[in-house]
Chains A and B, each alone.
Chain A
């Protein structure tokens, strides 16, 4: 009975195919034509979507740069101190604070992330410990930055009594940055061909030696690119900073002693960054030329972020060339 069924089923398509071979029915050609038209239409729509996204992105960047262009060409804007109730303020201290916070954050978060990424790619034993670690990093990466900022306020600002300070801000940004960096470094390490690692282990190196001397150098171009790209995100972060690094920027002077709030390198002084500055003047609304100042600050931020993107690619490519030239 089963064999009969099978042959019966077999016969049907054959018969159909013979039918079509003889003379394609009107129904069949219509189906094919419709499928082809749908395919063409879909390709056109997909292309339109991609073009729209690219044009939109270009428009956003052009809008930001164009509306801040007036301030960008003003030489005093990048060096002067901000003003509270009168027009013409600059963003000198904010610009310095942003870079200082970024450097401190990277100095703290890079070693921790590198270690965590090496553990997760090289050692991580299968089991509950690794699962907990992976879940923790995943959790940290999807926490809203305002929640991380509030935790920073509770811990560093209030519990440790560091006040609104660069140190509180940098440690909070570290929490925000670690999951991004761990992911980037993990991907870079995993992208190194397995042969390299196997060859190193076969020569009698321990995993640690293989990692330090073979894997990390081989992954370096990708790591550098990823770290600089993530630096752009730290640079523009504001929600995690408004309640940790504070919303005020004391005037800076290199002559001041390190304990003074005016010394640029003092990590216990409050430090408003560029991104926080934009938010603050817009929410307070006491600066008369706030539209111009915030547009100018946004343009400066945008230029820095674009520069980070370009530098990331150039540095990655240059390292790659040095690594493979020998």
Chain B
């Protein structure tokens, strides 16, 4: 701030007395130009939230579906009315299923992600930046439909052979999702561990601790908030993933009976349904309500990340 003042006061005597100096004008123009870009992004995000929510809310406002039968109903068949005359739009099976695949995929991915990031930061840092990080970037780049195909070709037949049934289901989807979120969680937790000051490690080594004792007793606890952030970013990615999950989960909108039976997530119902229902019908409106739930969940994930950041922030200073 003070530097800007010095710059502008130095340049003003050389320019004309009246009017804005050319330097000031260039600066002004740059500021406005880049500011507009930021504004555009903000406006886009607000419009998105507004439009998705306004369509989603019309399920409850216009079509008069009670909140309870949407969030607690267990039967999804929007084209039929239930005994009470309200369309059968219970979204609970999808909500439960979305959360199960998210949690399960995180549980599967976390040991690998954490192990890899400890290895990369504490054991072999050179290998980490030269070999491992570029490799995980390749993994990030693999398209989700391709993961879906690999799931169809490898995981589903494997599950079918292992436990019988169709092979489609929550566990198959979670395995594929775990691989998909692995690079996200790994690279964020690598950053988290690398941000722990070396003085902490030196202190621990100075007391005669081994590397593993240092990791468990010092590094991991002080990086914990950032590791939680990494996990939540992974969850957020898993929760919103659509096509790979849709290809593997089996697409049966029913209450999940177990890990090995076909089910449906919020995203898979959206992907399948949006093309078939005409705009403005109840069946279409409830899809937007599902989209609104997805949107709300991703906002909640961001909120949690921000809360962790505020609580754990500036801890290393």
Contact = CB atoms under 8 A, between A and B. Distances in A.
- Interface size class, chain B: 35 or more
A279 B243 contact: yes
A153 to B, nearest CB: 8
Contacts, number: 256
A42 B150 contact: no
A315 interface: no
A43 B211 contact: yes
B299 A139 contact: yes
A279 B145 contact: yes
Contacts of B51: 151, 154-155
A40 B295 CA distance: 45
Interface stretch (A72-80, A201-209, A252-260): A201-209
A139 to B, nearest CB: 5
Contacts of A229: 137, 141
B106 to A, nearest CB: 15
- The A interface, classified by DSSP as helix, strand, loop or mixed, is helix
A136 B41 contact: yes
Contacts of A158: 279
Contacts of A235: 143
A47 B119 contact: yes
A243 interface: yes
Interface residues of A, number: 91
A212 to B, nearest CB: 8
A36 B7 contact: no
B123 A46 contact: yes
A113 B139 CA distance: 24
B69 interface: no
A49 B30 CA distance: 49
Given A38-B212, A39-B212, A43-B212, A50 B119 contact: yes
A169 interface: no
Nearest to B149: A298
A60 B140 CA distance: 13
A320 interface: no
Nearest to B44: A175
B152 to A, nearest CB: 7
A113 B137 CA distance: 21
Contact of A115 (B38, B111, B150): B38
A301 B100 CA distance: 30
Interface in A142-197: 142-148, 150-151, 153-155, 158, 175, 178, 182
Given A229-B137, A279-B145, A154 B240 contact: no
A61 interface: yes
Interface string A93-105: 0000000000000
A49 B112 contact: yes
B145 A238 contact: yes
A115 B34 contact: yes
Contacts of A287: none
A309 interface: yes
25 contacts: A39-B212, A49-B111, A61-B138, A63-B150, A116-B37, A116-B40, A133-B38, A136-B41, A137-B41, A138-B302, A139-B299, A142-B298, A142-B301, A144-B241, A144-B267, A145-B240, A145-B242, A146-B270, A155-B47, A236-B143, A278-B148, A283-B246, A283-B272, A301-B146, A309-B141
Interface of B: 3-4, 7, 10-11, 23-24, 26-27, 29-31, 33-38, 40-42, 44-48, 51-52, 55, 111-112, 115-116, 118-120, 123, 132, 134-135, 137-146, 148-150, 152-154, 179, 182, 186, 209-213, 215, 233, 236-237, 239-243, 246-247, 267, 270-272, 274-275, 279, 288, 291, 294-295, 298-299, 301-302, 306
Given A118-B34, A142-B298, A204-B23, 5 more contacts: A35-B209, A38-B213, A135-B302, A233-B140, A276-B145
